Structures are given as structure tokens and as C-alpha cells.
Amino acid sequence: MKMNKKHEVTMEERYDSWPVKAYTYSMIIWGIASLLYGILISLQLVYPEWNFGEWFSYGRLRPIHTNGGAFGFGLSGIFALSYYMVPRLTKSPLFLPGIAKLNFWIYNFTIAAAVITLHLGFSTTKEYAELEWPIDLLVVIVWVLWALNMVGTILTKKVDKMYVSLWYIIATVLGVAVLYIFNNLAVPASLFKSYSLYAGVNDANVQWWYGHNAVAFVFTTPILAIFFYFFPKVTNLPLYSHRLSIVAFWSLVFMYLWTGAHHLIWTPVPDWIQTVAIAFSLMLIAPSWGSVINGYMTMGNNWEQMKTNYLAKFFIMGITFYGLQTLQGPSQAIRSISSLIHYTDWVPGHVHMGTMGWFAMTIMASFYYVIPKIYKTELYSVKLANTHFWLVFTGQIIYSISMWIAGIMQGAMWKATNPDGSLKYTFQDSITASYPYWDLRALGGVIFLAGALVFAYNIFKTIQKGSNASAKTEGAV
């Protein structure tokens, strides 16, 4: 990673920063939108009068929140950071810069179309794959355009060895392509209506093979690529072990694909599929913690950076939430635990530790590093970045803990029986008891949104500062 300073400057100029800059805006816009949808639907669960007619009813809005968060906010961030990382890691300019622009516009058109069609009720209902077939086709185009640039740039690399971040980018390109295509195969009945190629048990099995591996190849592999690139950069420390990162890579990409059916414990899916999924889920702890340990050991004797370097704090908390997430997830796969917490609010509590804690924290922290670099300036305010950290951290903790408590309560109330063997509570009892926790969850969401707004303000101010400075230099020339 060491290189001559002068050389770095000339290389920097060869890297196209347009896609990075453009995706920064789309990430912020879709991110804020997704959070607003999230807060609205969290309130709808307690105050049903907040369902404003059919276009704004909970059942149609929830997929907008999930798709907006994963594919609007998340993919924008992943695209921006991969367009930043890959040319630098390969020391090769972007393979097709024009295609990167096209990629950006088609991508944003696709996300906008997704939001509109979901409002209109065009939904396949398959979770995280709700988009109807014409939009699926657009998604495929977006993916191919991104893949062309990623793979093309990697194939034309000017370095001898590929750093592990590039491995994870390759896995992301391939994994999402395979999963998305096979889960979305359907026969159209009209322009916005299609029927899944698969039925019943097989459809469920394919869907959760996809669903859980969307977690692998959208929420994990690209974020590990980002983590392993930016974490050593921001701490100025070499990665603890390249070998460990490679071993973790292979075991992660091998094991993840076997685990989908842990979403289908106690369903009519055959027991052997469930058992295989449970076993592989437990084994996944090893490669997941391989990355966590690699992160911790990289800090070595430099843990004082948690105090002195705000970015070390973001990344260490991010990888810590990843570690907690990958212990909690496998435990949920176990049959007895699943029977208590599955279908309850425990699960959104779990998901949001990953999305708010690991995914969003790591992506946002990377922008604090990238934006000043490409605008050749300093971050507008480290103090605001710290404020952002504590707001999103608090918001997420409130969210997850209130949902874990509510989830266990719901599971226990559903199971509770009277001495005579009859059920103790009606289903509605479990919902009524959840309302205070759902209020608390909405509060957590609002605090998280406040943190995200502080982030957006800080980024905009930094961009402004950098643009003003470069305008002045140009004026002087």
C-alpha cells in the first residue's frame, strides 16, 4: 500500500471522481427518504389513522422502506465507494467512465420507479424482491453496467496482487447476479403483474435462499470490502492478517449459500433442509468473527485512537455490531429459539442492529474519509461527526433493545397457556402489550434520522468548502 507521494498525486488525477460524487447525493436522498418511510410505518403500527388511503397504507409502504434502505441508500453507498476503491486498488483508471454515468442515471430511474410502483401496489410480495418484472429487468441492466466497470477495471489491473477488498467486490458482483436472477424468474400476465415460476414450498425455499444471501452479498461482502479498505486507511495501521482475511473470505462465500432455510424453521420445508441451514448458520460464526478479529487485531496497541480518531470509533463500532449480529443470527436459527422469536419483533430488532449499526455506520464513516479526499479539503466539522455518531448509536440501541424485549414478550404471550391447557392470551393481547415498545422504536428511528441529517449537513458543507476552495485556485490561475 506504500507508494511515493508524488506518484500518488498524479495517479489521483487519473481517477474519475464523478461517479463517487454523484452517488453521494443519491445515497443521501434515498437514505433520508427510507428513514422517513421507516418512521411513518413505525407510527402506523401504533396509530392506524396514519394509514393515509391505499397509496400510503402500511402493507404498501413497508417494502418501500426496506428496498429504499437496502437498494436506495445501501447500493448508492456501495456503488460510490466501489467506484472510489477499485481504481485505487488496481492502480488502473475506471474501465468505462461513460458507462459509469449511464449506470448512475439508470440506477436512480430504477429506484424511483420502484418507489412509485410499490405505492401503486405492483408487488411480487417476495421479500426484498418485491419489484415487478419490468423493474427487475432494469435492475439487471444496472447490475451488468456496474459489473462491467468493476470486472473490467480489475482485469486491466496494474498491480500484481489483488487486495482482499477486490475479492469481496468480485463476490458481490457474482453473488447478487445469481441470486437476483434465479429468485425473480416469473411469467408475466400483464405489464405489472407476474407469477413466480416456482410454487409453494419450493418458492419459499428459493426466496429465502435469495433473502438470506441478499444479507450476504449486499449487507456483508461489499461492506467487508469497504471495511478492509477504509479501516486501515483511516487508522493508518496495516491490516493485521492478509491470510486471515483470505481464509475468512472463502469460508464466508462458501457457507452463506447453505443457510437460507433458517428463515423457514418449523415450516413445511423438509427437515433436512432446515437442519443443514441451522448447521451452516452456526458454522458461519467462524468466518464472520475472522473478520471481526482481523479488525480488532489491526488496532493492536493503538486503541487510544478510539478517543483521538473519530473515524476509528465509527469503524470499530461498526465491526462490533457485525460481530454481535453474526452471533445473534446463528442463535436464532436454532429450533427452540426460533420457535420463540420467529414472527415476532425480535427479528426487526436483529435486522436493524445489522443495518443501522454495521451497514450504515461503516458506509457513512467511509464518506467522511472519501469526500474530503476528492474535494481536496478537510472535513467541515469533526464535532458534528461525533454528534452524528452518538445520535445514530443511541437511536439504534433504542430501536433494537425495545424490539428484543417486545419480541420475547410476544413469543411468550403466544405460547402461554392456562392450567387447563387453553391459551392464556388472545393475539390482540400481544399487540396491545407491544404498543409502548413500538412508540419507543419510533423514537429510536427519529433519533437515528437526526444523526443522518447531521451527517448529510456535514457532507454538504464539506463539499461546499472544497468546491469554493478549488474555484478560488482556478480563479487565481
Partner 1 sequence: MSDQQVNTLERKPVILIIVTLVVILIGSVVTALLPFFMEGMEVKIDTVRPYTALELEGRDLYMREGCNNCHTQTVRPLRDEVLRYGEFSKSGEFAYDHPFLWGSKRTGPDLARIGGKYPDSWHVQHMVDPRSIVPQSNMPSYAFMADRPLDGSTIQSKMEALRTVGVPYTDEEIAAAPATLTGKTEMDAIIAYLQVLGTMINKAPVETVTDSTAVADSTAAPADSAAVTPAEAR
Which residues in the 288-317 window bind partner 1 by CB under 8 A? none
- The span from the CA of 357 to the CA of 448, in Å, is 10
* In the complex, minimum distance from the CB of residue 403 to partner 1, in angstroms, rounded to a whole number: 11
- The span from the CA of 344 to the CA of 327, in Å, is 19
H/E segment holding residue 368: helix 360-374
Which position among 427, 436, 467, 468 is part of the footprint of partner 1 (CB under 8 A)?
427
- The span from the CA of 108 to the CA of 142, in Å, is 9
Which residues within the stretch 16-35 sit at the binding site for partner 1 (CB under 8 A)?
Answer: none
User: Between 382 and 421, how does the x/- string for binding to partner 1 read (CB under 8 A)?
Assistant: ----------------------------x---xxxx----
Rule CB under 8 A: say whether 220 interacts with partner 1.
no
Which position among 12, 16, 203, 439 is part of the footprint of partner 1 (CB under 8 A)?
203
Rule CB under 8 A: say whether 350 interacts with partner 1.
no
Rule CB under 8 A: say whether 137 interacts with partner 1.
no
Grid coordinates in use for 466? 472544497
Which position among 258, 322, 358, 369 is part of the footprint of partner 1 (CB under 8 A)?
258
- Residue by residue, what is the 3-state secondary structure of 95-141? CCHHHHHHHHHHHHHHHHHHHHHHHCCCCCCCCCCCCCHHHHHHHHH
Cβ-contact 151, 92 below 8 angstroms: no
Grid coordinates in use for 391? 445520535
Which residues within the stretch 50-89 sit at the binding site for partner 1 (CB under 8 A)?
Answer: 51, 53-54, 57-60, 62-63
**Total binding residues toward partner 1, as defined by CB under 8 A:** 95
* In the complex, minimum distance from the CB of residue 124 to partner 1, in angstroms, rounded to a whole number: 6
* In the complex, minimum distance from the CB of residue 272 to partner 1, in angstroms, rounded to a whole number: 8
Rule CB under 8 A: say whether 475 interacts with partner 1.
no
User: Between 82 and 111, how does the x/- string for binding to partner 1 read (CB under 8 A)?
Assistant: ------------------------------
Rule CB under 8 A: say whether 254 interacts with partner 1.
yes
* In the complex, minimum distance from the CB of residue 326 to partner 1, in angstroms, rounded to a whole number: 17
**Which residue in 217, 218, 172, 211 sits closest to 72, CA to CA?**
218
* In the complex, minimum distance from the CB of residue 25 to partner 1, in angstroms, rounded to a whole number: 29
Residue ranges with strand state E in 403-454: none
Which residues within the stretch 173-202 sit at the binding site for partner 1 (CB under 8 A)?
Answer: 174-175, 178, 182, 187-190, 193-202
- The span from the CA of 413 to the CA of 411, in Å, is 6
* In the complex, minimum distance from the CB of residue 343 to partner 1, in angstroms, rounded to a whole number: 4
* In the complex, minimum distance from the CB of residue 187 to partner 1, in angstroms, rounded to a whole number: 5
Rule CB under 8 A: say whether 123 interacts with partner 1.
yes
Q: 3-state class of 196 per DSSP?
A: strand
Rule CB under 8 A: say whether 205 interacts with partner 1.
yes
Eight-state DSSP code of residue 163: P
Rule CB under 8 A: say whether 233 interacts with partner 1.
no
* In the complex, minimum distance from the CB of residue 237 to partner 1, in angstroms, rounded to a whole number: 22
How many other CB atoms are found less than 10 A from the CB of residue 402?
A: 22
Cβ-contact 354, 332 below 8 angstroms: no
Rule CB under 8 A: say whether 151 interacts with partner 1.
yes
Q: Which of 48, 238 has the CB closer to partner 1?
A: 48
How many other CB atoms are found less than 10 A from the CB of residue 440?
A: 18
- The span from the CA of 428 to the CA of 434, in Å, is 10
CA separation (Å) from 396 to 175, 358, 401, 445?
Answer: 28, 10, 8, 7
Q: Which of 150, 463 has the CB closer to partner 1?
A: 150
Which position among 35, 39, 45, 371 is part of the footprint of partner 1 (CB under 8 A)?
45
Which position among 405, 431, 453, 469 is part of the footprint of partner 1 (CB under 8 A)?
431
- The span from the CA of 261 to the CA of 256, in Å, is 11
Query: 187 - beta bridge partners?
Result: 195
